[in-house]
Amino acid sequence: MTDQDRDLRARLVAAGVELVATGGVHALGLREIARHAGVSHGAPRRYFPTHRELLAAIAQQGFGRLTDALAGADALAAGTGADARSRLDALARAYLGFAAANPGMFELMFRHDLLEGSGAELRRTTVPLFLTFVGLVAEVHPDSEDPAAATAALWSNLHGLAQLRTWGSLRLITGGEDVEPLLRAALDAHLGPATR
Amino acid sequence: MTDQDRDLRARLVAAGVELVATGGVHALGLREIARHAGVSHGAPRRYFPTHRELLAAIAQQGFGRLTDALAGADALAAGTGADARSRLDALARAYLGFAAANPGMFELMFRHDLLEGSGAELRRTTVPLFLTFVGLVAEVHPDSEDPAAATAALWSNLHGLAQLRTWGSLRLITGGEDVEPLLRAALDAHLGPATR
DNA sequence: GAAGACGGGTAGACACTGTCTACGCCGTGC
DNA sequence: GCACGGCGTAGACAGTGTCTACCCGTCTTC
């Protein structure tokens, strides 16, 4: 099935995914997406009444891929009989890996000013994954009185690290390019030193 | 000295600061800033060759205010004889407080796509403050082998919390609006439980 | 089988943006 | 007294997102 066969809605989203991967958020103009999909600038309006709704559909694709990547990484770790701490390790690395591999898409996913409804609907799809996160954290901290808060704190740390790297603030502060030491520090802080 | 007296450069920056406070980043169009400063749309070009440079000057104001707020909070805490842990507590709260009180400015400051030179020059001004951060963290963790990494990890956590709140993801995940439990969790994780 | 309705894409207009360029004005220095 | 230079104005230009009129192929219905 070629691009020409699929309905325009899917083609537009696919064009957006491709454009954001190569040119970043800046390349996601409505007319540019339409051009890349081979239609006139008015065509998208049939499927996406506004530019923001088209961008939200593109970001939705990103959220899907992110949850897939995380679920895959966790399944892999769980398959080898890893404990909760190690599975969280794998999840964290998968999260940062996704952000590093798809910087444009990652930015779009969290640019609430570009997404219809601030993207709240989209982020809702990640809730189930977050809950498995909470379960793992509760396993690491059996006596925690609020594992959800602890998990949210850890997640926000991962997110901050992802941003820190994309800004190139790492070189500024630590002198190096690598997030690895920061990631280890964050995981150790939130989950205790790795068992090894 | 009224707005009319000051030179246009300062007036434009002041107009931008005001606009971003009331209307967010979206209100920072070049022509809108010029209108707000009472000049034609071509006037800013004399002082800022490009829109991004004007935005960078506005963001610079924001970085100045942030460092002032942080330095003030730290001086206050240090003045009462607080220990390093408590001073970091105050700094963290001041950071989140600034982000909450100036959401538009905070967003602008870290929107590298809007700032000339990605804003690297601007963030460089926060380095001294970061170093005092490092000193305090080293005081809390005397046996840490890389206090800079630990500090960067903590800072990225604070930044992630600030974003988490502005997106309204808190309600989605923890059910509440308050960052306080997440902040406590983050500080406890990175610095150990509060001494009290 | 002919005709009407309609979904879906085209194309132009509109107001707006940031940038570029030509022009005019006003104060200063020779 | 006058040329000059800094500074702001105003219009043009290409580009944007949105809106609207149109058009054309397909499908339904008599």
Q: What is the pLDDT of residues B29-50, one digit of tens each?
A: 999 999 999 999 999 999 999 9
B148, B168, B189: residue with CB nearest A174: B148
The shortest C-alpha distance from B179 to chain A (Å) reads 9
**pLDDT for A29-45, tens place per residue?**
999 999 999 999 999 99
| Strand C nucleotides, any atom under 7 Å to a protein CB | 8-12, 16-22
CB pairs under 8 A between A and B: 127
| DSSP 8-state class, residue B194 | P
- More reliable by pLDDT, A88 or B1: A88
- The alpha carbon of residue B27 is apart from the nearest alpha carbon of chain A, in Å, by 12
What is the model's pLDDT at position A94? 98
| Arithmetic mean of pLDDT, B24-29 | 98
By mean pLDDT, which of A192-196, B81-85, B108-112 is the weakest?
A192-196
Single-letter code of the amino acid located at B27: A
Token pair belonging to A33 = 């997406």
Q: Tell me, what's the pLDDT at A3? A: 57
Smallest CA–CA distance from A123 into chain B, residue: B169
Amino acid A151 CA to nucleotide C16 C1' distance, rounded Å:
44
Q: Is the pLDDT of residue B23 over 60?
A: yes
Q: What is the mean pLDDT of chain A?
A: 93
H or E element in which residue B169 lies: helix B169-174
Task: Evaluate if residue B57 carries a pLDDT over 90.
Answer: yes
A131: contact with B, CB 8 A cutoff: no
Q: Please report, for residues A85, A89, A191, B73, B141, the alpha-carbon distance to residue A194 in angstroms, rounded to integers and kept in the order given.
A: 7, 9, 8, 35, 18
pLDDT band at B174 (very low <50, low <70, confident <90, very high): confident
Which one-letter amino acid corresponds to residue A3?
D
> B23: which residues sit within 8 A by CB, 6+ positions away?
B104
DSSP string covering chain A, please?
Answer: --TTTS-HHHHHHHHHHHHHHHH-GGG--HHHHHHHHTS-TTGGGGT-SSHHHHHHHHHHHHHHHHHHHHHHHHHHHHHTT--HHHHHHHHHHHHHHHHHH-HHHHHHHT-TTTSGGGGHHHHHTTHHHHHHHHHHHHHHSTT-S-HHHHHHHHHHHHHHHHHHHHTTHHHHHHSSS--HHHHHHHHHHHH-SPP-
pLDDT given at position B118: 75
The reported pLDDT for the residue numbered B175 is 74
Distance B47 CA to D10 C1' (A): 18
Residues of chain B in contact with residue A157, where contact means CB-CB under 8 angstroms, are: 153, 156-157, 160, 186
Interchain proximity B130–A173, CB inside 8 Å: yes
Among residues of chain B, what percentage have pLDDT more than 90?
A: 80
What average pLDDT does the segment A143-158 reach?
95
Residue B40, nucleotide of least CA–C1' distance: D9
- Rounded distance between C-alpha atoms, residue A184 and residue A92, angstroms: 10
* pTM for the model: 0.93
| Among B38-42, B61-65, B116-120, the least confident range | B116-120
Rounded to an integer, the average pLDDT of A51-58 is: 98
Residues B91 and B133: beta-carbon distance below 8 Å:
yes
pLDDT score at B196: 54
Interface membership of B90 toward A (CB under 8 Å): no
